[in-house]
Structure 1
Amino acid sequence: MAMTMNGEVTLPASLDAVWAALNDPEVLKACIPGCEQLNKDDETHFSAVVKVKLGPVKASFKGKVELVDLDPPNGYRIQGEGEGGIAGFAKGGAKVALSDAGEGQTLLRYDVEAQVGGKLMQLGSRLIDSVSKKLADEFFANFAKAVSAG
């Protein structure tokens, strides 16, 4: 099942500060809901373990993420995939674009395309879309706090 999501958020920090935070595994680990482990394997590769609950399904996903088309500090594309055992899999990517919003703020735009399969697919697109939006909102609220704190 394919899923798309896009949006934008204005963050209370400079473009350079937001770029640095988007590349800091400790900041990202603290902001990603359910993230138990996030390792920076090299400059463009990360590995992660994330636990999520989608309706009746709880799953621990182990995944790998690669940053491509880097354009510091304006953005990049993220591509990755994760395995959740019997729960299924997720794979996809996101384009992240940053721009100066003035007054020390940064506008972050994102476009996500993902595929999910296995038991997750049986939950239906409305539940997956709803949970995905909730997780994205939670991430950006956490990320906004992290970048405004310094």
Structure 2
Amino acid sequence: MQLTDSREIAAAPEIVWAAILDPDVLKQCVPGCQEMTGSPEEGFEAKVVQKVGPVKATFKGTVSLSEMNRPESLTLTGEGKGGAAGFAKGGADVRLEPKGEGTLLSYDVEAKVGGKLAQLGSRIIDGFAKKMADQFFDNFKAAVEGPSEAEPAAAEADAGAETGAATGEGEAPKKGWFKRIVS
């Protein structure tokens, strides 16, 4: 299964690059991720629980980063084993390009499955893989940018509660939690 797509992220390429190397951001972005440890240099280990069609499994796996060309591109390669459910492995070539004041994140994903998962059929697997990739990159965009314009009341309430400060009309837009850390 192969998938190609892109996302515009309202943050500089350096901020997006730092976020994609942060295990806490990755844990937050991977759907079903329960644990994520490691570093970009040595790779990451993860535990992910997912249900694909009728098969629910806990996958334990590794993700390694290679071909890192800061802050322009990198390759993520992962492999997970889900016991009797089978295995999943694949990779993503990620490219970051400045676009206006933000970044265009483009990716090419290739995934393979085996075991019981492979018996489900390519339609279910392809749909699931696309959904997982879309969720990951949507979550990643939200983690870097912060809340979207569609949820300003909730964002203001959360930001006010988080900082203990009153919100005012003349304030700048709220930054995502990762952007606040690196700014």
TMscore range, shorter length: over 0.9
Match of 1:93 among 91, 94, 98: 91
| C-alpha contact 1:38 1:46 (8 A) present in aligned 2 | yes
Equivalent of 2:35 in 34, 37, 54: 37
- CA deviations 1:60-92 (Å, max 9, x no partner) are 100011101110101111112110000000112
In structure 2, the partner of 1:105 is 102
Query: Which structure's residues are more often helix, by fraction?
Result: 2
Q: CA RMSD in A?
A: 1.1
Q: 2:136 — aligned with what?
A: 139
* 2:120 corresponds to: 123
Equivalent residue number for residue 19 of structure 2: 21
**Number of residue equivalences:** 147
Tell me which amino acid in the other structure corresponds to 1:101: K
* Consecutive unaligned residues in structure 2, runs of 5 or more: 146-175
Q: Percent identity?
A: 52
Query: Cα deviations across residues 19-69 of structure 1 (Å, max 9, x unaligned)?
Result: 000000001101110000111156241110011111101011000111011
Unaligned runs of 5+ in 1: none
* Partner-residue secondary structure (3-state), 2:71: coil
Larger relative contact order (Cα-Cα within 8 Å, sequence gap ≥ 6): 1
- Which has the higher Rg, Structure 1 or Structure 2? 2
Supply the distance in 2 between the matched residues of 1:98 and 1:107 (Cα, whole angstroms). Answer: 6
The structure richer in strand per residue is 1
